[in-house]
Amino acid sequence: MVCKGERVLVGLSGGKDSVVALYLLKKIAGHVADFHAVLIDEGIPGYRDRAIKRGIEACEKIGVGYTVVSAEKEVGYSMQDVFGLIEKNPKLGSSCGFCGVFRREILNRVAVEGGYSKLATGHNLDDEAQSIAMNLFTGDLCRLVRLGPVTGSAKVDGFVPRIKPLVECPEMEVVAYANLLKLPHYSDECCPFSWMAKRNHFRKLINELEDVLPGSKYALLSTFRQLKPVLEKDAGIKKGDARKCVLCGNNTTQRVCGVCRVIEKLKMGRDVGAGDSVVVGNGKKGLSCVETKRNVKKF
């Protein structure tokens, strides 16, 4: 995942997963590559500020430099703002949908601007199994093929390849490892908005399955690995080509980038981006993720 001479940006939430990922990357590849952590402050008072504090302690203990980036400064909204709008208009959906889009965009932007060659995250086996199941159950094959331990290509301008070093490590093992090594990490209260997350249902479902059928999480990951090349090559499922967002000029694979779409949604109070990530025929061999004319007209 990491080659000699690379500069790797590590997305650090301050939780056990990203702290363990940072620790292991530095321990295993610290003599051949450079690592730097980025902590995104999504603006969730009483939660993210405390997690960031623990993340900074971890960086100091591990011996890695760090940068804290405010989502509010980058995209104009804190998650507290977003939650306030959702409370007024529940049709906007869950906070996590917005939070994930903001975080992904900011991480990529920091990585591109900093000239990093890889972006590492702390996703573990449980996270990956949940994501696979979520995309299978919603039929979102375009998102599904974007999963995996190494995603993205260094050849695509404006996008930094992502790596997930812990993708084969079950969550409980990561917890045990972080505690065994006494790595500073945040493990108190969950995010106050996490009750809205769709992911909670999948976590419960997959954990129950794992209890009665041990190995289910690995099996799901293994099935996905076998399926991914088939989806990419044989079924022709692929994401769109890199281009500039017509609204903000940022790098995107669609006409309007994810951040602009969700900001429009917040401003207009309805889902203006609906259908952007559905699989639609493009008239050529196979399928690709493209924005629909309906959405383009709305912008």
Residues 6+ apart with CB under 8 A from 206: 126, 129, 130, 133, 216, 217, 220
| Spatial separation of the C-alpha atoms in residues 32 and 12, rounded to whole Å | 21
Taking the least distance from each CB to ligand SF4, the nearer of 29 and 96 is 96
Please tell me whether residue 191 binds ligand SF4 under the rule CB under 6 A: yes
Q: How far is the CB of 249 from ligand SF4 (least distance, A)?
A: 26
Q: Which of 115, 210, 207 is nearest to 158 (CA)?
A: 115
Q: Which is nearer to ligand SF4, 85 or 242 (CB)?
A: 85
Q: How far is the CB of 234 from ligand SF4 (least distance, A)?
A: 33
- Judge whether 2 and 163 are in contact, CB under 8 Å: yes
Find all residues with CB under 8 Å of 292, minimum gap 6, and list them. Answer: 275, 276, 278, 280
- Paired tokens of 163: 């790596």
- Taken in order 26, 23, 58, 46, is the CA torsion positive or negative? positive
Q: How far is the CB of 213 from ligand SF4 (least distance, A)?
A: 27
Answer yes or no whether residue 96 interacts with ligand SF4 by CB under 6 A: yes
Q: Which two tokens stand for residue 135?
A: 């995309």
DSSP code of residue 199: H
Q: Minimum CB separation from ligand SF4 for residue 244, in Å?
A: 27
Q: Which of 99, 132, 133, 262 binds ligand SF4 (CB under 6 A)?
A: 99
- 42 or 276: whose CB is closer to ligand SF4? 42
Question: Quick check: 93 binds ligand SF4 (CB under 6 A)?
Answer: no
Neighbours of 195 (CB within 10 A): 10
For the bound state, the minimum distance from the C-beta of residue 255 to ligand SF4, rounded and expressed in Å, comes to 25
Kindly tell me which residue out of 197, 231, 245, 290 binds ligand SF4, with binding defined by CB under 6 A.
197
Answer for which of 117, 194, 200, 216 binds ligand SF4 (CB under 6 A) is 194
Cβ-proximal residues to 296 (8 Å cutoff; 6+ apart), any chain: 255, 256
Asked whether position 100 contacts ligand SF4 by CB under 6 A, the answer is: yes
Torsion of CA 245, 248, 250, 254, to 10 degrees: -20
Q: What is the DSSP letter of 250?
A: -
By CB under 6 A, tell whether 40 contacts ligand SF4.
Answer: no
The verdict on 193 binding ligand SF4 (CB under 6 A) reads yes
101 is a contact residue toward ligand SF4 (CB under 6 A): no
Compare residues 137 and 195 and give the one whose CB is closer to ligand SF4. 195
Min separation Cβ 214 and ligand SF4, Å: 27
User: Under rule CB under 6 A, how many of the chain's residues touch ligand SF4?
Assistant: 10
Binding site for ligand SF4 (CB under 6 A): 42, 79, 95-96, 99-100, 191, 193-194, 197
